[in-house]
Amino acid sequence: MKNHLSSLLALLIPLLLSACSDQVSFSGDVMPILKNNCSKCHTRDGEGVAKSGFSVADYDHVMKGTNLGPMVVAGHSEISSLFQLISHQADPQIQMPPHHPEALPEGRALALEFEQIETIKDWIDQGAKNN
């Protein structure tokens, strides 16, 4: 019995440690994505801020959301507007970053890569922490 328990622990401990290392960091993982893909329009007096009130300047601004409400529902990417907009679950005219022909005047951008979308999704699902 003792051997079985030792074997089980030997298998579980690496799994638990690897799960801990998958924690998404806002400052290290999410903010670089937002800065590189969203800050042109969604900081200061950018077109995105003017139209929606949404800024990606820092964690507090992201969590504040838009003039109409929050963009992130901590723990629930499936109902978070931020995730819906970047993962093509919204109307193409409002998907982000805008990469359709009628994009914002400040310019078109490329859609986020799958891994970037998954990083933001995981961050939201992990509680959207300021870490």
Give the span between the Cα atoms of 50 and 89, in whole angstroms.
Answer: 23
Q: What's at 60, amino acid-wise?
A: D
* Range of lowest pLDDT (11-15, 31-35, 40-44): 11-15
pTM attached to this predicted model: 0.79
Higher pLDDT, 52 or 110: 52
Question: Domain-by-domain residue ranges, the chain?
Answer: 24-125
pLDDT for 59 equals 99
DSSP structural state of residue 26: I
CA torsion, ordered 21, 63, 90, 107, to nearest 10 deg: -100
pLDDT for 100 equals 52
* Range of lowest pLDDT (39-43, 54-58, 64-68, 118-122): 39-43
